[in-house]
Amino acid sequence: MDEGQSFNFMKHFNNRPTSLKVELLSIPETNSARNSYVQHDVSIGEHLGFRNLSYSVKEGLFKRSELIVYIMLVLIIRSFVLENKQVLYEVNGGFLAGEVTAIMGPSGAGKSTLMNILAGYTTHGISGELLVDSKIRNENLFRKQSCYIMQDDNLQPLLTVKEAMGVAACLKLGSDVTKEERQTRIDEILKALGLWQCRLIKTKSLSGGQRKRLAIALELLKNPQIMFFDEPTSGLDSVSTKQCILLLKQLAQEGRTIIITIHQPSASICEMLDHLYVLAEGKCIYQGSVKGVVPYLQESNLFCPAYHNPADYLIEVAAGEHGEYVDLLVSRMGNGTNHDWRKMQIGDESGMQSIEAIDKMMRNGLVTPVRSPTSPGFHWALSVVIDWWHSNVICCNLNFDELCQSATDPANGVIFGPFFLLPFTIFSGFFVQLYDVHPYMRWIFHISYIKYGFEGLMLAIFGYDREKMPCNADYCNYHYPKIFLEDVDMADAVYSYSVIFLLGLIVFLRVLAFIALYLRIQLRR
């Protein structure tokens, strides 16, 4: 992008109206205010850009690993086995504050890669410049001003909506915000996003649309300027999809920069988007308004059939279904430096007029209804006991995985966590008992946290001089609970030891995980 193009691009930016500060305001109960999901002002919009951006990865028999034990092996093999695979080829572009930008393209075009680079999740193998308001961006500051909402929201299933917001508020808002201010902010966001009525519902009972809104609400607590969404409409029905896009438009109209990846939007959804950025073979073949797609293609002798979705036709062209036009379109678009087609903006009055109707449906429970399961009496008590047992087992199993998310990365934690877990599972007293193992291996029993959890549970049920168990058979080997405990090598076990060991392990693992995270943060700085 030369100086003249950069000047024209920023001139186009500066002509956009500036709005207010990035603060959430109380939402009065009026029709006009109710239509605004989140009201705040931005004194100056954050315009995200990139120049001559390229990305390549190592590809071959072996993949690069961040584990320390493989570093030397990787350094030796990379020069002989691995080869570079180019994913992005010096692409350019700019995304305006106040707009919903959709990154599109066929499979393998590089849209997810571009999104990860722009969001700061991919940092290696990159060349080119990442910009904010035409200046090289400060990565540390950018992370504080942006958020990335994944396709899988990973919400805590057993927390209510309000509890999830409370935990996120404590983590995101800092100690200088009082408890009353945090609660006020939570209530305002829940009311603004139509989640107030389901604030006491557990997240596992929410519908798909409500989960998407809750994921957005959790990030709005820190009031980000730039928001990235990976396939935000995935898994939603047509009504919920339209509702989601309308919500994103409202967030954009309050001054935020909204960037999403979307696979194949319908014609009605496509018309609601402000800006398209289309990739093919790692290069930009179009960036501009939805209204400009058809005339842009016509100038290259590509005629979209009547009553055909222009976005679908553009993806077909990018995939090569209508001939070899990718190089021509890349040349005409200047690989993203041409911003002429931004000017052909499409009005979305019909879409924005439907916000009130969608909002009314949400308030009346007609959109994404919640069906909270009920279970009376004994079934409820039994489910509580089962949730308690499962949660303890799951939390113990995940502790070692989390220790590996802390020391390396999430992928390695998922892969190598079970290797640390397996010995403790085998030597827990359930599969193999103490005196059946070689004496040199018995020490693992004494440090197996699963053994202490299993032992404590057995003692709570069959210990403390429990009376004889009922039996209608002629002979019952375990008529006396004490005999059962002797057969599983728990006759001399002490319940308090199990409790002390598990509590101590929880404290130890949390301290160890904190140290690992602290060291990683210090290394990044």
Quick: pLDDT tens for 66-88.
455 456 665 555 555 556 778 89
Query: Looking at the predicted structure, is the pLDDT value of residue 427 above 70?
Result: yes
Q: Number of structural domains, the chain? A: 2
Question: Is the domain of 353 the same as that of 399?
Answer: no
Burial class (CB in 10 A: 0-12, 13-18, 19+), 284: buried
pTM exceeds cut of 0.75 = no
Q: Does the residue 396 lie in any domain? A: yes
Q: In which band, very low, low, confident or very high, does the pLDDT at 118 lie, cut at 50, 70 and 90?
A: very high
| 186 or 356, which is more confident | 186
Percent of the chain with pLDDT over 70: 69
Answer yes or no: do 158 and 249 share one domain.
Answer: yes
Does residue 319 fall inside a structural domain?
yes
Q: Is residue 370 part of a domain?
A: no
Q: What pLDDT was estimated at residue 426?
A: 74
| 511 and 454 both lie in a single domain | yes
C-alpha to C-alpha distance for 163 and 169, rounded to whole angstroms? 10
Residue 369 lies in a domain: no
Whether the per-residue pLDDT at 161 is higher than 90: the answer is yes
The answer to whether residue 274 sits within a structural domain is yes
d(CA 524, CA 252): 32
Q: Do the domain assignments include residue 371?
A: no
The pLDDT of residue 344 is 65
Task: Tell me the pLDDT of the chain averaged across its residues.
Answer: 75
Residues 68 and 171 placed together within one structural domain of the fold: yes
Q: Which residue do the tokens 């951006």 mark?
A: 53
pLDDT band at 473 (very low <50, low <70, confident <90, very high): low
> Averaged over 420-436, what is the pLDDT?
71
pLDDT value at residue 351? 44
- The reply to whether 404 and 337 lie within a common domain is no
Residue 284 pLDDT: 95
Same-domain status, 162 and 270 = yes
For residues 28 and 104, membership in a common domain is answered with yes
Last residue of one domain, picked from the residues 315, 333, 363: 363
Mind listing the pLDDT tens digit for each residue in 193-232? 888 999 999 999 998 888 988 999 998 898 899 999 988 8
Examine the pLDDT at 105 and tell me if it is beyond 60: yes
Q: Is residue 520 part of a domain?
A: yes
| 278 & 405 share domain | no
Q: Which of these ranges, 29-33, 261-265, 266-270, has the smallest mean pLDDT?
A: 29-33
Q: Sorting pLDDT into bands at 50, 70 and 90, what band is 411?
A: low
Quote the pLDDT of residue 88: 92
Q: How far apart are CA 293 and CA 276, in angstroms?
A: 9
- Judged by DSSP in three states, 312 sits in helix
Taking 80 as the threshold, does the pLDDT of residue 173 lie above it? yes
Which residue has better confidence, 3 or 125? 125
Average pLDDT over residues 236-260: 88
* HEC letters along 99-165: CEEEEECCCCCCHHHHHHHHHCCCCCCEEEEEEECCEECCHHHHHHHEEEECCCCCCCCCCEHHHHH
- Specify whether 408 is located in the same domain as 337: no
Q: What is the CATH number of the domain that holds 209?
A: 3.40.50.300
**pLDDT at position 477 over 60:** yes
Contact status, residue 277 vs residue 95, Cβ threshold 8 Å:
yes
Specify the range with the lowest mean pLDDT, choosing from 33-37, 43-47, 344-348, 500-504. 33-37
Confidence tier at 413 by pLDDT (50, 70, 90): low
Q: Indicate the residue among 333, 363, 393 that finishes a domain.
A: 363
248 and 100 in a common domain: yes
Is residue 414 in a domain?
yes
> Under a CB-based contact definition with an 8 Å cutoff, are residues 302 and 324 in contact?
no
* Domain end point (choices 363, 387, 403): 363
Strand partners, 278: 104, 286
- Contact by Cβ (8 Å): 35, 356: yes
Q: What is the pLDDT of residue 31?
A: 37
**Residue 237 clears pLDDT 60, i.e. is over it:** yes
Burial class (CB in 10 A: 0-12, 13-18, 19+), 153: middle
Per-residue confidence band for 57, with pLDDT thresholds at 50, 70 and 90:
confident
Percent above pLDDT 90 for the chain: 20
Q: How many CB atoms lie within 10 A of CB 497?
A: 13
Full domain range(s) for residue 220: 3-363
pLDDT, residue 345, reads 54
Q: 345 and 382, same structural domain?
A: no
3-state secondary structure of 237: coil
- Tell me, yes or no, whether 143 and 186 share the same domain: yes
